Amino acid sequence: MAGVFEVREYDGMGRRGELTVPRADITVETPALMPVVNPHVQTLDPARIESEFGAEILITNSYVLHGSEDLRGPALEQGLHELLDFSGVVVTDSGSFQLAEYGDIDVDTRGIVEFQRAIGSDIGTPVDIPTPPDVDRGQAAGEQTTTQERLELAAEIDTGEMLLNAPVQGSTHLDLREQAAREAAGTGLDIFPIGAVVPLMKEYRFDDLAEVVLAAKRGLSADVPVHLFGAGHPMMFALGAATGCDLFDSAAYALYARDDRYLTVRGTEHLDELTYLPCACPVCTEHTPEDLRGAGETDRHELLARHNLAVSYGELRRIRQAIRRGNLFELLETRARGHPAVLDGYRTLLDHAAQLEATDPVSKESFFYLSGDSARRPEVARHHDRIARLDVPDELVVTAGSPVERFEASWRLRPPFGPVPPALVDAYPLTAETPDRLDTQAYEAAAEGIRRLVEASPDSDVTLFHDGWPDSALDIVPDRVTVEVLGEGFDDET
C-alpha cells in the first residue's frame, strides 16, 4: 500500500511536507516529531501527549509487545490505538535496536511484520541490522546485504494498508550508505529511516551524522519521506531538518526526564544545576527548579517530560515556520552558535553546497548574513556559478563604491557574493542583509566570485576597486585583475 508524501516547500534540502498514512486515514505535517512510547513504562501517557501537545504520530516497539506476557494478548485483541489510547498514527519498530544492543532477538522479519499488521500498526518496520559506526567495510557491506534481503522480503508480505519502513544502513561508509539508500528505494517501500546513527548522536558526532544523512539522501529520490532514527534531542532537529529529514523520534524526552535532565535547544541541563527554568512552557512558568527538586519522583519525572516535549515540539514548529519563511539556514546558524558540535554539523552540511542548492528556492524573502559560515551558503555558490555564465563586457570595473564612469561597464562589488551586474542588484540573494563589519570569509567569498568571473571571461579587462580587503581575499584575485583600493590611487569619480 503506497502512502503519499508531498513536499510543500523547500528551504535548502529542508522541506515542509505532508505524509498521508492510509491505515490511520491521517495526514501528518512534516517535519514531525514522533514521541517514543514504551509499552511498559509511560512517563507521560499517550492520551496526554495527544491532548496536551497535539501529537499526530508516535512510535512504539512491536518487539516489546510481542515478547510481553501481559501486553501481547491485549495488543492483538484491542489493537494498538486502543491499547495506547491514542488516535493518531502509530508507528512500530521491529526489535532491530534490541538486536544491536543485546546481539540477538527471537523474531524474524516475516513474523514481526505480520504481528505489526495484526496489532493495527499504521507503519511497520522489518528487522534491519543496525550496523554501528566505524566498523570495517566488509562487515558494513555484509550486514547491508542482509538488511536489503529483509527489505525485499518485507515488500512481498501482504501488509494491507500498513506502510513499511525501509531502513538505510551502511555504517559510516558513505558510498555504502548511498548504495543502501538506492537499493532500499528500489523495493518500493514507503518511508526511509536512516539507521544506526544513535551512537553518532550520543557522541555528539554531528559532522559524521551530517555526512551519513547526506550520503543516504544522494541515494534516495528527493520526494520520499526520510526518518532520522533515534534523533530525539531538540538541539539537533534544525540540523536534521536541514539535511532533509522529515521525521524524528524522541525517546529522549522521557529517558532524560527519568534522569532529571532538562532539554534545551542548546543542549542538556541537569535539574540540580538549574537556578532558573529558562523556558516559557507551562511547567516552567508554574514551577521553580526548587519546586521540581522537591516534588516526588513520579511527579518530577512527569513534569520534566512535559517540559522536554514542549521544547521539542516548539523547536519543530520553529523549524516549520523557518522553512515557510525561507530562513532555515539562519535558524540552523543560530543553533550552531549554541553548541560547537552543531557548528561542526552545520559546517559539514555547507561542504555540500551543490547538493543543497539543487532544491533551494531561487528566491526567498531575505538572506541574513550572520557569520563567516553564511559565506558558504548555497545561494553564494549559486551566484558564483551564475557569474561564470554571464556576458562580461570587454572592459569592466567591479567596485565597492559608486559606479566609475571611465569604464565601459561598472558592476557592484558585494561581499560575500562578489561581482553583481546592474540587472541583478535588486534580485535575491543580492539583497542580502550583511553587517557593516564583515568578516574575512565574506571578502574571500567575494574574491572567489571575481576569480570565477575572470576565469570564465579570459578576454575581459577587469579592474577591482575594493574597500580594504584582507590579504587572504586579495590572494584569491587572479593576477591579471587590476586591483585598486577605494580612496587611494584612482579615486571614486562620483
Single residue of 56, 128, 211, 439 touching ligand GUN by CB under 6 A:
128
3 interacts with ligand GUN by CB under 6 A: no
User: Pick from ligand GUN, Zn ion, none: which does 279 bind, CB < 5 to 8 A by kind?
Assistant: Zn ion
The count of chain residues that interact with Zn ion, using the rule CB under 5 A, is 5
Single residue of 195, 219, 401, 416 touching ligand GUN by CB under 6 A:
195
Judged by beta carbon, residue 96 or residue 179, the one nearer ligand GUN is 96
Stretch that binds Zn ion, among 165-173, 187-195, 276-284, 473-481 (CB under 5 A): 276-284
167 interacts with ligand GUN by CB under 6 A: yes
User: Pick from Zn ion, ligand GUN, none: which does 442 bind, CB < 5 to 8 A by kind?
Assistant: none
Which residue matches cell numbers 584582507? 470
Residue 175 appears among annotated catalytic residues:
no
Contact 123/246 with Cβ under 8 angstroms? Answer: no
Stretch that binds ligand GUN, among 195-203, 352-360, 397-405, 434-442 (CB under 6 A): 195-203
Single residue of 177, 307, 318, 466 touching Zn ion by CB under 5 A:
307
Nearest distance from residue 251's CB to ligand GUN, in Å? 9
User: Pick from Zn ion, ligand GUN, none: which does 281 bind, CB < 5 to 8 A by kind?
Assistant: Zn ion
User: Pick from Zn ion, ligand GUN, none: which does 230 bind, CB < 5 to 8 A by kind?
Assistant: ligand GUN
Residue from 25, 70, 93, 492 carrying the catalytic annotation: 93
229 interacts with ligand GUN by CB under 6 A: yes
Kindly identify the residues of this chain, within the stretch 85-124, that bind ligand GUN according to CB under 6 A: 93-94, 96-97
Residues that bind ligand GUN (CB under 6 A): 93-94, 96-97, 125, 128, 130, 167, 195-196, 198, 229-230
Q: Active-site positions?
A: 93
Query: Which positions lie near Zn ion, rule CB under 5 A?
Result: 279, 281, 283-284, 307
